[in-house]
Structure 1
Amino acid sequence: MVEFGEQLRKAREKKGMTQQALAEQLSMTKQTVSHWECGERYPDLATTKKISQILSVSPDDLISEEDMENIVERNPVIENSLINTLMVLLYTVAVISLIITPYPRFLGFNVEIVDHSTLEQKFGEFYFFGGVLSLLQIAGFLYCLINAIKGKLSPRRIGLGWMMFFTVNFIIHCSNLITVLSYGADWHIISLILVNAMINLLGVVACIFFFIKKNNNIMWATILGIISVFGLYVNVLHELYDFIRTAIEGDWHIKWYGYSYYWYKAALYAFIIYQVVVLYRKRKVVAEIEAIDK
């Protein structure tokens, strides 16, 4: 099967155009066109349609079903430069935040309840364990950040970064669960930690199937959306409520620094939903085109 890059080169040469001329009509760089023809990258579907118009060929003459799937799975999920810049900023803040205060950032209901129950003697160990594991989360977000800067944040790479985030959360909450069970904590604390662990385990599984295994089942997209809403509640709205209550009591100046990350947390969870929706729609378009061809 002839690949997109070769088809593009043949159509361009038949039209008598250079890579530079085609790039100028597309408002892109010559290097971008070169990457397409070498098979290193793929244009999005809208750009492919514009290319076919410029070269006076049918989109079907340029792109196969396999190439259409490659466009979705190898290209960055977010192809809008402005939104990608915002995402780079958010990943940067996430990495810095995890470096500064690793333990309280784990997705779940207030994990500090573990520290303030009957486990004071374990306080230091919890923070050390959380700090060590947070290095894996930093690595995951740093991986996403580097690829976002390069414009190569594909679905698989997003999945690997967020899978690492959820996996560390799951391990931390399981560790907390084992510890509180050994100390005979009440059912309320146990149930909260159990919910935290299960939510993050679902996140791991959903990332594997939706982002990495390319399963576009609406179930996995919905699960990731629900987890993001859950994170928005427990890590933003719930903490914001505590902050407002503390401020009313007159201690806002003490708590302000610790609660200054609401905007970036909310934006991160919103970005998970946005990425899922964009990827789901792209895959659905490809599936519909393939169905029509058959």
Structure 2
Amino acid sequence: MTAWLAIIAPAWIAGSILGLLSAPLGCLVLWRRMAFFADALAHGTLLGVALAVLWQLPMGIGVAMVSVMVVVGLVVIDDERLPVDAVLAVVSVTLLCLGLLTLTQLTDQQANVLGFLFGNLLDIDWADLPLLAGSVLVGLGFLIYIWSAQVKLATHEALARIQGINPTRQRLFFMGVLAGFCAIALQAVGSLLISGLLVLPALTARLYSSAPKQMVIIALLVAQVGVTLGIWGSIWLDIQTGLAIVLVLAILFFAALIVSNFWTANRQSRY
């Protein structure tokens, strides 16, 4: 048991630290209806990594370049004739294909493709934790700074404008935090599953919350449970850690949905 803990402990701590940022950020993603955008950015991290490897740049710079490219690209192709969700779906799958093509054809990272797609949290060791913790703290600090404005924009944008909040600036701030999260979450759950780590705890929390603060607290608890069970489940089932974490989060969501519907039906039948 001690030997297992020595291997799992860094990954467990890293996943728990990551959950501290994913839960509140995921709540904002739901409130601001940006799940498709988050998915597009998450898939874009794969292309960012590929470009960073190809041009021998730090991974963060590659992801930042692609994030800026996504934002600029969405502004350029904005057309009222095209549904926003459909455009984001096209952007998402295009980025994923370009990332896979670049990684497999133009770099020597073919053997690591599965890790980039589904993550490999168990590769994290004690030396990686300070940088991860520092990155999450910076993300949390900036999220706290913009939190009030983001919530106001999500609940009543017209009123927020009257109060002097600039929607465009705040949207860019939010996109920046989201892009940073995608960069640091890549190793944990991979490009394909980042949106699951973001959205599933928040969706589960939404079923049992009646206020923003309550939703964030419940999402934090769900994220921690998902990380813990997912890591141990990946060891037990010998599967990718990111797959296990997101699968556990999905099971928790559907279980919570069933219980919530059953409880609601029981209450209605009494009246």
Q: TM-score, normalised by structure 2?
A: 0.27
Relative contact order higher in (CA < 8 Å, ≥ 6 apart): 2
